[in-house]
A and B are shown apart, each in its own frame.
Chain A
Amino acid sequence: MNADPPDLGGFELGWPDSPFCNTHITTDTLAGGQKITIAYDNNDCSGKLYLKGNVVIQVPANKDYAGVPIAIDIQHVKVTRLSDGHIAFVDGHVNVINAFGGSLKDSSNYPHFWFNQYVQSDDMSIAYPATNTATAWHLDMQRSYAGYYNYLSLTTQGHKLKGNEPVATIAAWGKDRYGRAFTWTIPAANVVQVNQCDWKFQNGQLVKTFDSLGVRIDISLGVRQDGTYPGPPCSQPIYWTYKYTSGDTTFQHTMPEPSF
């Protein structure tokens, strides 16, 4: 079932449905805060994935969440790609700190609302049982939400400095399932997702590098089938451009955005 929008007595937040598709949400009041459990056991909004598992959020008691850490525990969520039965398990602890917003007083311009947060994790893992392999991830991102009634956009950018670069671009790093150290950066255009487009990537650029291998992969998100930008309306399939570079070898092509 979809979660009900909050009844706020005339202050009804435009509530995005997509992250909550077919979930069951329970809230327990704890001493000093709240424990919110999002239970997945159904297809996601796109109908392409089956999700099973819990995401537990520990929210400390506070009237203003700016600067207060919020713990998200992703508990062995099983993700099954329905098209071919491919399975992955996602585990990890994520800490979220709202740098700005997240409280009612910050929403005085309703129906406009926004908030910024930092997201960090040092123990994300994605396990692939078919090959008995796993990836290990670290996350360090800055995310900004901007809303207007039922429209909500999410902008993600890196928050970790790379070397002596003046602007933080690293969003994630770790080792892939082949044991190779990788880094994901968002160096130029921030990654944008929109709730009304099923959280598909609407815009942005990502770069994955394997420094020890001299391999670089550039991803341009939210393009048309011919690779041109801007991309199509969200009712249409969204594509992304994949560019591989290793030494003198370079090739590039455009493909539909993967569901998983």
Chain B
Amino acid sequence: MKRHLSILFVTVISSGLVLNGCNKGGVHASGTGPSTNVTISTAEEEEETQLELGTFRQVNTYITAASMEMLKAVMTQKKNAGECRSS
């Protein structure tokens, strides 16, 4: 029974988050765990999208950097193996 009350309490808090339109009440949703239907303000939604796009671009840069290094490695390897053309 106590456990059920705890679950109910968490549910009420979660509902409060939706009603408040934000999650700034000291309870932090996380990217892990079950999916939620928290509603945030349109301004927060926009900020979130900007962060995600910026991060997407940043991660893309890491992958590009890694790919360039991979390409450099294989081309250097080929050069050392005498397979590069000279001009």
Docked-complex contact A55 and B62, CB < 8 angstroms: yes
Q: Chain B residues near A244 (CB, 8 Å)?
A: 42, 45-46
Docked-complex contact B29 and A206, CB < 8 angstroms: no
The bracket for how many chain A residues form the interface is 35 or more
Docked-complex contact A242 and B33, CB < 8 angstroms: no
Q: Pick the contact of A174 from B31, B40, B66 — CB < 8 Å?
A: B31
Docked-complex contact A10 and B84, CB < 8 angstroms: yes
Q: Pick the contact of B29 from A10, A178, A217 — CB < 8 Å?
A: A178
> Chain B interface mostly helix, strand, loop or mixed?
helix
Q: Pick the contact of B46 from A64, A74, A242, A260 — CB < 8 Å?
A: A242
Docked-complex contact B23 and A178, CB < 8 angstroms: yes
The bracket for how many chain B residues form the interface is 35 or more
CA distance A77 to B60 in the complex (A): 14
Q: Chain B residues near A203 (CB, 8 Å)?
A: none
Q: Mark A28-43, 1 if CB is under 8 A from B, else 0.
A: 0000001010100000
Instruction: Pick the most buried of B39, B48, B56, B83: most chain A CB atoms within 10 A of its CB.
Output: B56
Q: Chain B residues near A115 (CB, 8 Å)?
A: 67, 71
Closest residue of chain A to B34 (Cβ to Cβ) is A179
Closest residue of chain A to B33 (Cβ to Cβ) is A179
CA distance A18 to B23 in the complex (A): 37
Q: Which residues of B are interface residues toward A (Cβ below 8 A)?
A: 23, 28-40, 42, 45-46, 48-79, 81, 83-87
